[in-house]
Structure 1
Amino acid sequence: MSPLANIVGVAAALCSMTSFAPQLLKIWRERDASSVSLRMYIVTVTGFSLWIAYGVLIQSWPVIGSNVVCLLLSAAILALKWRFSRRG
């Protein structure tokens, strides 16, 4: 793989992984996840799970690693959505 491909891959992985941080921090600080779409995060968590399976099938540790991080972050948002919507 070319150095440019590696740079693009790392940049893409970093963008994907950090994209969840602002949403996660906002939900945690405000203790409110009402603006989060439950369906969207269910689809997102499912998508990352499938990317991990794909990474395992093609034996690509960068695909697996970055998607595990994204899965954990998006699953945390999903869990907070469930937790804060159950409060009343």
Structure 2
Amino acid sequence: MTLTDFIGTLAAVLTTGSFLPQAWHTFKTKDVSGISLGMYSVFTTGVAAWLIYGLLLQAWPIVIANAITLTLAATILTMKLRYR
């Protein structure tokens, strides 16, 4: 693995993994009061665009990281809309 690949993998793991605590907390407590609907709507749309970009480039690290992040962000957004 090159240094570039290592840094890209590390970045993908850290940024994608950062959503796990929020998703777990929201799922467990159903408390969405501290979550911004606007921010998560825009962010989820942006991650979907990154996923499409990765697919168009056939850049699988980008695809995998953003598919996971999209799933987590969309889950949080869905809980925000459901548990208001």
TM-score range normalised by the length of the shorter chain = over 0.9
Q: Residue in 2 aligned with 1:43?
A: 42
Q: How far apart are 1:50 and its partner, in Å? A: 0.6
Q: How far apart are 1:29 and its partner, in Å? A: 1.8
Q: Residue in 1 aligned with 2:72?
A: 73
Q: Residue in 2 aligned with 1:11?
A: 10
CA deviation string 1:26-76 (max 9, x = no partner): 112211101100011011111111101111121111111110000000000
State which structure, 1 or 2, has the greater radius of gyration over its C-alpha atoms: 1
Identity %: 38
TM-score scaled by structure 1? 0.90
SS of match in other structure, 1:36: coil
Structure 1 residue runs without a partner (length 5+):
none
TM-score scaled by structure 2? 0.94
Aligned residues: 84
Amino acid at match of 1:54: Y
Structure 2 residue runs without a partner (length 5+):
none
Are 2:24 and 1:33 equivalent residues in the alignment? no
Runs of 4+ aligned structure 1 residues displaced above 3 Å come to: none
